[in-house]
Amino acid sequence: MWKGPWIVPELRVLNLRNNSLTGIIPPSVGNATKLMNFSLAGNRISGNIPKEIGNLSQLEFLSLNDNQLIGSIPAVLFNISSLLVASLRFNSFSGSLLPNEENIVSNIEFLSVSNNQISGCIPSNICQLTELHVLSISLNNITGEIPSNIGCLSKLEVFYIGENPITGTIPASLANISTRQYVDGTGNRLEGPIPPELGKLPNLRQLSFGHNSNLIGQIPEAIFNISTLETIAVYFNNISGTFPAPTGFHLPNLKQLLLGENQLEGEIPLFITNASKLEILDLSNNLFKGTIPNNLGNLRELRYLFLHHNQLTNEPRDHELRFFNSLVDCRMLRYLEVGNNPLNGVLPNSIGNLSYTIEDLYISDAQINGFIPPVIGNMSGLTELTLGENNLTGNIPPEIGKLTKLQGLFLPNNKLNGHIPEAVCHLSNLVQLNLGDNELLGAIPACIGNLSMLQQLYLGYNRFSSKFPLSLWKMRSLLILSTSQNSIEGEVPQDIGGLKAIVELYLSGNHFSGMIPSRLGELQNLQYLDLSNNSFFGQIPLSFANLISLQFLDLSLNALSGTIPKSMERLSYLKSINVSFNDLEGEIPSGGVFVNSTLQSFLGNKGLCGVHILEVPACTNPGLQSKSKDLVLKVVIPVVISSFLIFLLVSVWIVKRKKKGKSKDVERLPDIKTHQLVSYYEIQQATYYFDESNLIGAGSSSSVYKGTLSS
């Protein structure tokens, strides 16, 4: 940006949009007094808007959006009577929306300050902007309520206030503006009912009050008769009621009907297809019951169909889900989600005739029975296929390998059996594969290791056996690996260090054996590690202290021995540790995670002891224990040596006496007993571990304790 003085008295148009300009708008911009069109949009201009901009008395068009401007919006802008358009969105402006002055002299028609940091309420003097056609203040920090007299803006066509913490109710005066076309209050904190007066807006094209959470009551029936409407979006509220009667549903131009996440009930009417231009139909997460209409194929422009999480069923007499037959005619369909309904039927072969444009097919938790039809391989556009939590049986059809665009394949919680077909390895774009909780068996195909984009692999709770493919230990992109509760055997090789990105690793409930590889400590992103209920033996690797991200550790039900590495105390994120039912011994570290973790278990390790842990006995006082070791040389050894010397002297004396040839023993010598040999352990017990209360005295070379032996 030019930093010197602006000497351009005849300049009328300055358009420098979409460059890489930096710097500030200089105050000398006020010298361009004849400027009518001023655009710096799409640059990296910073600083404030200088107040000298108020000198541009002929300015009509001002576009400063998509920059890095800060500060408040200058009050002088609203005193330029010629200004018609002010686009200031996508900056960091703060302060209030309008100056606090009572009188505003402005003919502005377009005012956009969305995506800033504007705060305060919508001011009452906004009514002085009598020529306003477009007001966009979305994505700010505007608080308070929508002024009850907002209908004073009689020429307003576009009213965008979404994504602010605006509270209160929707004012009925919004209906006083017959020119109103777009109303968007999405993502606020509005409450109460939708005013029925809004049904009187003859030119309304968009009505959006989604994601307010607290809107209640029914959608006014009159709204379903505004023939100009293109969007009705009141999702994520507490709206109740049913669809209106056929005579109250006249929406020939409707493109988006977004009613998800409410309390709507009743049946989905057949006449919904009268809105023949529908592109998005979202009725998910409601209380709808009855069947899915069999005439949805009449919605030829339908792209998104969301009916999941309701109480929709299949025709009682039908074995197959017939509504798929009709959806074959929706050749533009991209997302089809009908899961989490008690559909109770079989997937028909017509599913293979659905449009190749379908990217997401979601029919999870829908009481689907029978086989996965092989014709599903015809849905070549699929990027995500979700059929989990059903009653599917039989094999995974090899035709699934034709879905080469597939990124997510979710078939968990079914009754699928047989082997994983190697055709799954043809899904080179696969990011997530979930086959858990089935009855799959045999070996895990080694070719899965060739899926270089795979990040999540769930194979737990099946009947897999044999050894784990070495190729899977080297998948550098894998984030989650779960093979729990199978019959996989063999050792975990050092190659596990190749799982560089792994975050969650679940190998519990198998027949893994051998030692836990030390290279596990290289997995510094690892947060969850479960090796429980296997046959691992040996020590816990010292390298575990390097698992700096670890939050959950379960090593229970193995044959681990040795001590718990004290260096693991520095695992500051560890919240849960379970090493129960092993052969561990020694003292449980008393610092860091072993004190602060919320869940911990050390049961079933006879050799473990610890401080303030209910499951294991208390250890000997470490200070006294070390003290007793220091006293071994000072107390025990002198006692033993003394006993031996006394025994030796007495023996020599007896021998000498015999040599004197005294045949008669007038006064027999009493029996002389040697000192009892005392073990160090007995001395510990007798002195209560050399407790100071038993200390008699201390010299330069030793200390003397009193104690009572067991004898």
Residue 84 token pair: 């018609």
423 and 443 Cβ atoms separated by less than 8 Å = no
**Is it the case that residue 531 has pLDDT exceeding 90?**
yes
**Is it the case that residue 653 has pLDDT exceeding 60?**
no
Q: Considering only CA atoms, which of 543, 542, 536, 541 is closest in space to residue 560?
A: 536
328 Cα distance to chain centroid: 35
Q: Considering only CA atoms, which of 1, 88, 85 is closest in space to residue 41?
A: 88
- Determine how many CB atoms are found less than 10 A away from the CB of residue 99: 19
- Determine how many CB atoms are found less than 10 A away from the CB of residue 19: 12
**446-461: pLDDT as tens digits:** 999 999 999 999 999 9
Q: Considering only CA atoms, which of 386, 379, 384 is closest in space to residue 408?
A: 384
Measured between alpha carbons, how far is 621 from 241 in angstroms, rounded to an integer? 70
**Is it the case that residue 687 has pLDDT exceeding 90?**
no
Out of 4-18, 153-167, 186-200, pick the least confident: 4-18
For domain 466-619, the question of CATH label 3.40.50.800 is answered with no
Out of 232-241, 257-266, 695-704, pick the least confident: 695-704
**Is it the case that residue 541 has pLDDT exceeding 80?**
yes
According to DSSP, the β-strands at 37-39 and 480-482 are: unpaired
Measured between alpha carbons, how far is 487 from 463 in angstroms, rounded to an integer? 6
Q: What is the DSSP letter of 636?
A: I
Max Cα-Cα span within the chain: 149
Task: Give me the chain's average pLDDT, please.
Answer: 89
Those residues whose C-beta lies under 8 Å from the C-beta of residue 542, and which sit 6 or more positions away, are 518, 521, 565, 567
Res. 691 pLDDT band, cuts 50 70 90: low
Once rounded to an integer, what is the mean pLDDT over residues 510-532?
96
Once rounded to an integer, what is the mean pLDDT over residues 238-267?
95
**109-155: pLDDT as tens digits:** 999 999 999 999 999 889 999 999 999 999 999 999 999 999 999 99
Measured between alpha carbons, how far is 322 from 327 in angstroms, rounded to an integer? 9
What DSSP string runs through 201-261? Answer: -TT--EEE--S-SEEEEEPPGGGGG-TT--EEE--SSEEE--PPPGGG---TT--EEE--S
**Is it the case that residue 699 has pLDDT exceeding 90?**
no
CA distances in angstroms from 315 to 13, 45, 52, 321, 365, listed in the order given: 67, 63, 72, 8, 18
Out of 123-127, 333-337, 491-495, 588-592, pick the least confident: 588-592
Element (H, E) at 626: helix 622-631
Residue 448 token pair: 């899965």
Residue 530 token pair: 């479960």
Q: Which amino acid is at 619?
A: C
pLDDT of residue 101: 61
284 and 262 Cβ atoms separated by less than 8 Å = no
pLDDT of residue 103: 73
Strand partners, 417: 439
Once rounded to an integer, what is the mean pLDDT over residues 260-272?
96
Those residues whose C-beta lies under 8 Å from the C-beta of residue 58, and which sit 6 or more positions away, are 33, 34, 35, 36, 82
Measured between alpha carbons, how far is 367 from 338 in angstroms, rounded to an integer? 11
Element (H, E) at 281: strand 280-282
**50-80: pLDDT as tens digits:** 999 999 999 999 999 999 999 999 999 999 9
pLDDT of residue 248: 84
**398-424: pLDDT as tens digits:** 999 999 999 999 999 999 999 999 999
Once rounded to an integer, what is the mean pLDDT over residues 499-509?
97
Residue 300 token pair: 């030829």
Q: Considering only CA atoms, which of 224, 215, 216 is closest in space to residue 245?
A: 224
CA distances in angstroms from 399 to 350, 364, 451, listed in the order given: 16, 20, 18
Rg of the Cα atoms in the chain: 40
Residue 360 token pair: 């997401």
Element (H, E) at 469: none
Q: Considering only CA atoms, which of 299, 306, 300 is closest in space to residue 338?
A: 306
Those residues whose C-beta lies under 8 Å from the C-beta of residue 515, and which sit 6 or more positions away, are 491, 536, 537, 538, 539
Strand partners, 456: 432, 480
Q: Considering only CA atoms, which of 445, 460, 333, 343 is closest in space to residue 392?
A: 343
Q: Considering only CA atoms, which of 473, 551, 486 is closest in space to residue 517?
A: 473
- Domain map (residue ranges) of the chain: 466-619
What DSSP string runs through 637-666? Answer: HHHHHHHHHHHHHHHHHHHHHHHTT----S
**Is it the case that residue 652 has pLDDT exceeding 70?**
no
**71-105: pLDDT as tens digits:** 999 999 999 999 999 999 999 999 999 887 667 88
Q: Which amino acid is at 423?
A: A
Once rounded to an integer, what is the mean pLDDT over residues 203-231?
95
Measured between alpha carbons, how far is 580 from 137 in angstroms, rounded to an integer? 59
**Is it the case that residue 519 has pLDDT exceeding 60?**
yes
**Is it the case that residue 693 has pLDDT exceeding 70?**
no
pLDDT of residue 637: 47
Q: Which amino acid is at 566?
A: K
**573-584: pLDDT as tens digits:** 999 999 999 999
